């Protein structure tokens, strides 16, 4: 890692964009019809950078929500990084550490600063991570469907498109039936997994064991985020491997969950753990323990997608990620679209995250834009 300075921060603005989803996305906690994203745009004396906050409109997936994240970034995070010159983005985490929680807000600011620093150094995010692959295997996450016919049509569409793994969102009473329908229709060879988004309880072991015969790759986050012991017990009641998502909020937490037997696979989302630097540490602790990881998704625009794809190019990401192509989400993306090529996305290798918002798309999707920091004249 070079010690070149990231440059002096000249300006930071918060940009809100609203991009319609091609179809509603229903999970056990709610339905999204648009991606309402908060972008952090940093201009330094050396380069500019973009960050994307993955917080949703309401605090349902986690305790963060997008308006709250914007306020935290402006009032509590930005003052901690602009007061003294920042030599290196590696130091951002410690500058922000006394602010409790708010990993998605922290992650968005860190991403923008990292993008600016790497652009100034003409280094790609993938190279900075130490990524080895130039393409990553992609899966797709399918929202809960009331109608089995509609579900089977969607699965067929995505398999035809080349996706290498299908993930079904489940909840109580929408679990065994859709899994059985997909298995019966598409056979045992389809790589299939499910995500409960914490919709079950410790008493649901027998229900979840009913998924065992279907040969799933994994079940993601069956129980509450703080129920590590419950997951460890459940792991002894079912044969499907447990993968944790919401429960894993740091590299240390990942190591603990693995040690306690709460999971044998980890979903890594940078926003959930406070940024891409911590995400890389989660990857490292999992690799050291022989635990496979894969890259999660939060319906990111092309900006967050670019960074996710770079992360997913690290060697420990041995399972296909929720890193789907732009058209799985949007008619029109904020950046040049990510296009599926033989079930993979290509890792951007330009400086920084390797993509920027297309000016026309940015103008069309922006709902609010405000400069929240400007360097004062000395």
Contact track, Mg ion, 1-30, x by CB under 5 A: ------------------------------
**Cβ–Cβ < 8 Å for 201, 223:** yes
**Cβ–Cβ < 8 Å for 93, 274:** yes
Q: Can residue 137 be called a binding residue for ligand SMG (CB under 6 A)?
A: no
Catalytic: 167? no
Binder among 56, 204, 227, 278 for ligand SMG (CB under 6 A): 56
Contact track, Mg ion, 249-268, x by CB under 5 A: --------------------
Q: Can residue 74 be called a binding residue for ligand SMG (CB under 6 A)?
A: no
Q: Can residue 245 be called a binding residue for Mg ion (CB under 5 A)?
A: yes
To ligand SMG, the closest distance from the beta carbon of 30 in angstroms equals 8
Binder among 28, 121, 247, 324 for ligand SMG (CB under 6 A): 324
Binder among 137, 278, 322, 333 for ligand SMG (CB under 6 A): 322
Which is catalytic among the residues 26, 35, 106, 169?
Answer: 169
Q: Can residue 297 be called a binding residue for ligand SMG (CB under 6 A)?
A: yes
To ligand SMG, the closest distance from the beta carbon of 121 in angstroms equals 29
Per CB under 5 A, contacts with Mg ion among 214-243 are: 220
- Among the candidate windows 121-129, 157-165, 207-215, 293-301, which touches ligand SMG by CB under 6 A? 293-301
- Among residues 296 and 354, whose Cβ is nearest to ligand SMG? 296
Which is catalytic among the residues 269, 280, 283, 373?
Answer: 269
Catalytic: 269? yes
Q: Can residue 195 be called a binding residue for Mg ion (CB under 5 A)?
A: yes
Q: Hey, which residues are catalytic here?
A: 169, 269
Q: Point out which residues bind Mg ion (CB under 5 A).
A: 195, 220, 245
Q: Point out which residues bind ligand SMG (CB under 6 A).
A: 27, 32, 56, 61, 141, 195, 197, 245, 296-299, 322, 324
């Amino acid at each position: 890692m070079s010690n070149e300075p990231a440059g002096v921060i000249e300006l930071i603005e918060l940009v809100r964009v609203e991009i319609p989803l091609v179809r509603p996305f229903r999970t056990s906690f709610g339905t999204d019809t648009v991606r309402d994203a908060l972008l952090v745009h940093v201009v330094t004396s050396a380069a500019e950078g973009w960050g994307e906050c993955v917080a949703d409109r309401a605090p349902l997936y986690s305790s963060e929500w997008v308006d709250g994240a914007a306020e935290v970034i402006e009032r509590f995070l930005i003052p901690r990084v602009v007061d003294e010159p920042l030599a290196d983005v590696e130091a951002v985490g410690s500058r922000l550490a006394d602010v409790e929680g708010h990993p998605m807000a922290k992650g968005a600011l860190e991403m923008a600063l990292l993008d600016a620093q790497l652009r100034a150094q003409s280094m790609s995010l993938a190279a900075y991570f130490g990524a080895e692959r130039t393409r990553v295997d992609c899966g797709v996450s399918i929202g809960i469907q009331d109608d089995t016919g509609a579900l089977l049509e969607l699965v067929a569409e995505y398999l035809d498109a080349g996706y290498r793994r299908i993930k079904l969102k489940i909840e109580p009473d929408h679990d065994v039936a859709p899994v059985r329908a997909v298995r019966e229709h598409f056979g045992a060879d389809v790589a299939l997994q499910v995500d409960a988004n914490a919709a079950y309880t410790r008493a649901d072991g027998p229900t979840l064991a009913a998924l065992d015969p279907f040969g799933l790759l994994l079940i993601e986050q069956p129980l509450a985020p703080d129920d590590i012991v419950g997951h460890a017990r459940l792991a002894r009641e079912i044969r499907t491997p447990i993968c944790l998502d919401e429960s894993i909020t740091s590299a240390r937490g990942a190591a603990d969950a693995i040690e306690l037997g709460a999971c044998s696979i980890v979903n890594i989302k940078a926003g959930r753990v406070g940024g891409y630097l911590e995400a890389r540490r989660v990857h490292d602790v999992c690799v050291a323990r022989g635990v496979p990881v894969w890259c999660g998704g939060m319906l990111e625009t092309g900006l967050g997608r670019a960074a996710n794809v770079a992360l997913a190019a690290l060697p420990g990401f041995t399972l296909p990620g929720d890193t789907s192509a732009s058209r799985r989400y949007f008619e029109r993306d904020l950046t040049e679209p990510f296009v599926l090529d033989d079930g993979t996305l290509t890792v951007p290798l330009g400086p920084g995250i390797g993509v920027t918002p297309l000016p026309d798309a940015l103008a069309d999707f922006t709902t609010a834009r405000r400069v929240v920091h400007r360097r004062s004249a000395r």
